[in-house]
Amino acid sequence: EYLPMRKKITSWIKIIFLLIYLQSCKSTTALMKQEATLADKMGSKQTEYLFNRIKEIAKVGYAFGHQDATAYGMGWKNDGSMKRSDVHDVTGEYPAVYGFELGHIELGHSINLDTVNFELMQRLIQRAHKAKGIITLSWHPDNPVSKKSAWDTTPAVIEILKGGSLHEKYKEWLFNLANFMNGLKDDSGNDIPVVFRPFHEMNGNWFWWGNGHCSPEEYINLWRETFNILTKEYNVHNVLYAYSPNTLEKTEDYLKYYPGDLYVDILGIDIYQHGNSEEFINALKKDISLLQKVASDKNKPYALSEAGLNEVPIANWWTKVLDPYIAKSGISWALFWRNAWPNHYFAPYPGQTSASDFILFKNLPHVLFLNDVKKIR
């Protein structure tokens, strides 16, 4: 009935190592909490806590995120009465990271450019936060010069910078944005912290703030002025700022538009599969490796800030094409784009081609859904 001596010794060694590990984790967490330095020096304690959680996630794996996960899906739209997501319909679990879109908040509209009501969005953010989910906010503001969409590339950045003809108009836009951010409170009236990812994919040429439509210097000034107006004039202190170029043509393009360490909390990159899987895998390997190096140099957490394959027609895409090349990469999360309509969706729904593989993906120990990140304090 007694263990052989060797087994006893092995058991004790395991226990000792576990105790050492737990103590080191505890010490590391405490140290990180002391050393957390946000771009916004007035950032709330809730925002600092989110920053530290994001760092801790990467030690365990990466969190799965989905844009507009609880706002709508394939064949349904939330009217405020439902608690649903396509991801939950397939797996029985909710995403860990929730993406929402602020486009048209600047115009004072009641619904965003994807027809999601902003009051409903606020409630969905509150619900996700209460469940210990992480919220990221993208923003596709209209072109302030042409008054058309974000994809209208009429040059505009120079006009909204300080001294430009539309600077005051831009400050009004940011006032509307700030009102939304400052209205994000939990049941106790505390800040709900969010990751804000403005002016993304700037190295591409499809947005008015993108390559060819403003100089890198103008872009950097736009980011810094936006940051300063929100934090110093409008007292927004519940935001982590994420910088995210698109897939890189040249590695030096990653930092070409970088506004500086003092204005950025999180580094990201957007990588979609537009061609074959081999091209996508090569882009993941190349760009995430670079992201890892830049983030290490700057001591900042990093993420795959947008990703996906439209309609996910490859049955084993999640476990064979995607995961092997982002697992153990150090990213804190990967956010997949929205399920908008039958020919534009990036996460499976029941019966979809990749749904079975998605369940296998969800069950991988390093892929974290809501119930997993709840445990990370």
> Looking at the structure, do residues 263 and 351 belong to the same domain, yes or no?
yes
> Looking at the structure, do residues 318 and 251 belong to the same domain, yes or no?
yes
Residue 135 or 24, more confident: 135
**pLDDT, position 192:** 98
Mean pLDDT score, 300-319: 98
**Mean pLDDT over the full length of the chain:** 92
pLDDT at 32 over 80: no
272 near 247, Cβ under 8 Å? Answer: yes
Mean pLDDT score, 130-159: 98
**pLDDT, position 9:** 39
Q: Could you confirm whether 159 is annotated as catalytic?
A: no
Distance CA 134, CA 114 (A): 21
Using a pLDDT cut of 90, give the percent of the chain over it: 89
> Looking at the structure, do residues 229 and 309 belong to the same domain, yes or no?
yes
**pLDDT, position 12:** 41
CATH code at position 88: 3.20.20.80
Question: pLDDT, tens digit, for every residue of 190-234?
Answer: 999 999 999 999 999 999 999 999 999 999 999 999 999 999 999
> Looking at the structure, do residues 229 and 356 belong to the same domain, yes or no?
yes
> Looking at the structure, do residues 176 and 293 belong to the same domain, yes or no?
yes
> Looking at the structure, do residues 158 and 305 belong to the same domain, yes or no?
yes
User: What are the two backbone dihedrals, phi and then psi, of residue 282, each rounded to the nearest 5 degrees?
Assistant: -65, -40
pLDDT at 348 over 60: yes
Name the pLDDT band for 20 (thresholds 50, 70, 90).
very low
Mean pLDDT score, 61-87: 97
267 near 299, Cβ under 8 Å? Answer: no
240 near 194, Cβ under 8 Å? Answer: yes
Q: With CA atoms as reference, report the closest residue to 334 among 377, 367, 358.
A: 367
**pLDDT, position 36:** 63
Name the pLDDT band for 377 (thresholds 50, 70, 90).
confident
> Looking at the structure, do residues 10 and 50 belong to the same domain, yes or no?
no
Using a pLDDT cut of 70, give the percent of the chain over it: 90
pLDDT at 7 over 50: no
> Looking at the structure, do residues 122 and 31 belong to the same domain, yes or no?
no
> Looking at the structure, do residues 22 and 63 belong to the same domain, yes or no?
no
**pLDDT, position 105:** 98
264 near 220, Cβ under 8 Å? Answer: no
What's the number of domains the chain is made of?
A: 2
pLDDT at 31 over 80: no
Of 56, 201, 218, 225, the catalytic one is: 201
Question: Which residue reads 């006032």 in tokens?
Answer: 175
Name the pLDDT band for 22 (thresholds 50, 70, 90).
very low
* Tokens describing residue 120: 């409903």
331: helix, coil or strand?
coil
> Looking at the structure, do residues 269 and 288 belong to the same domain, yes or no?
yes
> Looking at the structure, do residues 99 and 15 belong to the same domain, yes or no?
no
Q: Could you confirm whether 279 is annotated as catalytic?
A: no
Of 56, 218, 225, 306, the catalytic one is: 306
Q: Which domain holds residue 18?
A: 1-35
Mean pLDDT score, 122-129: 98
Half-sphere exposure of 74 (CA within 13 A, CB side): 18
DSSP class per residue in 135-182: EEEEE-PPPTTT-S-TT-----HHHHSTTSTTHHHHHHHHHHHHHHHH
> Looking at the structure, do residues 89 and 203 belong to the same domain, yes or no?
yes
